Amino acid sequence: MSKYQITVKQTGNQSTSVVGDQTQFLVNFNPSSSIEDFLAVLKALRQELDVITLPANAKDQAMHEVDRAIKQAKDTPPDKPKLLEMLNKAGEIVKSSSAIAAGAGQFWKLLRKAIAWLV
């Protein structure tokens, strides 16, 4: 199983984060971002999994992890370390799939945004 190194630099109300593949991105979560904003990202992430081409088993496993994350995010308070673990696992499943479609770019963008909210 792959390990991902996550580095976060806080800059004002935005974070610049680097995740595993060394892709840099900006997210606009700030201290006032709500759990509802986070849940919206998770639901969009789930929808992306519906449209990208993955082997059925990999897709089911990744969807299961995102569904678990959605359920965990609704707990009061949500367990951020568990959420981070679930999202990283979903990312590892998609990344290790041999049939990643070109359309997976939006999946990675949403996954990074969700992870940034947690750290």
Are residues 113 and 23 in contact, defined by beta-carbon separation less than 8 angstroms?
no
Residue 76 predicted with pLDDT over 80: yes
The partner residues of 26 in beta bridges, in order of sequence, read: 16
**Averaged pLDDT for residues 68-88:** 92
Residue 73 predicted with pLDDT over 50: yes
Write down the mean pLDDT value for the chain: 75
Residue 3, token pair as written in the block: 């390990």
Residue 98 predicted with pLDDT over 80: no
pLDDT score for 95: 83
pLDDT score for 109: 83
